[in-house]
Amino acid sequence: MSNSKQLDGTLVELRAAERSFAAAGGSFLALRAVSLSLRTGEFAAVVGGSGSGKSTLLNLITGIDRATAGEVWVADTPLHTLTEDDLARFRARHVGIVFQFFQLLPSLTALENVILPMDFVGVLSTAQRRDRAIQLLEQVGIREQANKFPDALSGGQQQRVAIARALANDPPLIVADEPTGNLDSHTAHEVLMLFSRLAREGKTILVVTHEKEHRSLFRKVFELADGQLVNAETASSRREVSACTG
């Protein structure tokens, strides 16, 4: 991908990306030649049944895992060519990751959890990190919970802390793997609305979700089945595409 890609707004691009795993009697293709792209500021969902390859896809985009064939470009960086160390450095600055079970460190307060990724990158002073973490908690609506430990927070509050943590180093891309999977439907809706707002403010956001009723929030929906991208809808084409595919 040349510089012109990012200039034209493409932030994520997969070209025939594959991921195979060693299995008894050969190899198992968890992701088959997936090609897709995301533009800066897009709010997109990945849907599909259990085992369809959603997490595998997200892990390639965050650089947690690596494609066994094809290309994965994020922010003009060819992730398929990077070493583990380079991938870790790339991730720290370019991608914020949100998980289903929040994965906050229980021995740190909400504020300290949000500061942690800033410590890893080491750009801001100690005082600046603290100020920024407070601002981020404010942005996700839980500033008053800053000094509480995770186990004193509700699931929705913990997920907001995790989202603030994902924003810590101001990455262009936020990737969330079933971030609403452990939340009640009202809280799930609030968390998706928060992501939607962050996308309007310029973040590119890719979310694995089962919240069918919220599908209209997303500008793009990628559907996986058996490791294949079987449908890619954009908001404008959603009616026609779903009419075509039944």
Span 28-57, contacts to Mg ion by CB under 5 A: 54-55
Nearer to Mg ion, 164 or 205 (CB): 205
Nearer to Mg ion, 171 or 179 (CB): 179
CA 229 – CA 60 distance, rounded (Å)? 14
Dihedral class, residue 48 (left if φ above 0, else alpha if ψ from -120 to 50, else beta): left
Tell me which DSSP letter residue 57 carries.
H
Q: Which does 185 bind (CB under 5 to 8 A by kind): ligand ADP, Mg ion, none?
A: none
Nearer to ligand ADP, 157 or 209 (CB): 209
Nearer to ligand ADP, 28 or 237 (CB): 28
Nearer to ligand ADP, 21 or 239 (CB): 21
Structure tokens at 26: 């050969």
Span 13-32, contacts to ligand ADP by CB under 6 A: 21, 28, 30
In 3D, which of 153, 64, 47 has the Cα closest to residue 105?
A: 153
CA 214 – CA 148 distance, rounded (Å)? 31
**Helices and strands, number each (H, E), in the chain:** 8, 10
Q: What is the size of the binding site for ligand ADP (CB under 6 A)?
A: 11
Q: Which does 50 bind (CB under 5 to 8 A by kind): Mg ion, ligand ADP, none?
A: ligand ADP
- Which listed residue (9, 27, 51, 81) binds ligand ADP by CB under 6 A? 51
- Which listed residue (32, 38, 52, 229) binds ligand ADP by CB under 6 A? 52
Q: Is 53 in the site for ligand ADP (CB under 6 A)?
A: yes
In 3D, which of 63, 78, 150, 139 has the Cα closest to residue 109?
A: 150
Nearer to ligand ADP, 54 or 214 (CB): 54
Q: Which does 135 bind (CB under 5 to 8 A by kind): Mg ion, ligand ADP, none?
A: none
Q: Residue 29: enclosing H or E segment and its boundaries?
A: strand 26-39
Q: Is 48 in the site for ligand ADP (CB under 6 A)?
A: yes
Q: Is 180 in the site for ligand ADP (CB under 6 A)?
A: no
Look at the block and give the residue holding tokens 């954009």: 234
Phi, psi of 10 (to 5 degrees): -80, 125
C-alpha distance from residue 161 to each of 1, 103, 136, 148 (Å): 34, 10, 9, 11
Footprint of Mg ion on this chain (CB under 5 A)? Answer: 54-55
Footprint of ligand ADP on this chain (CB under 6 A)? Answer: 21, 28, 30, 48, 50-56
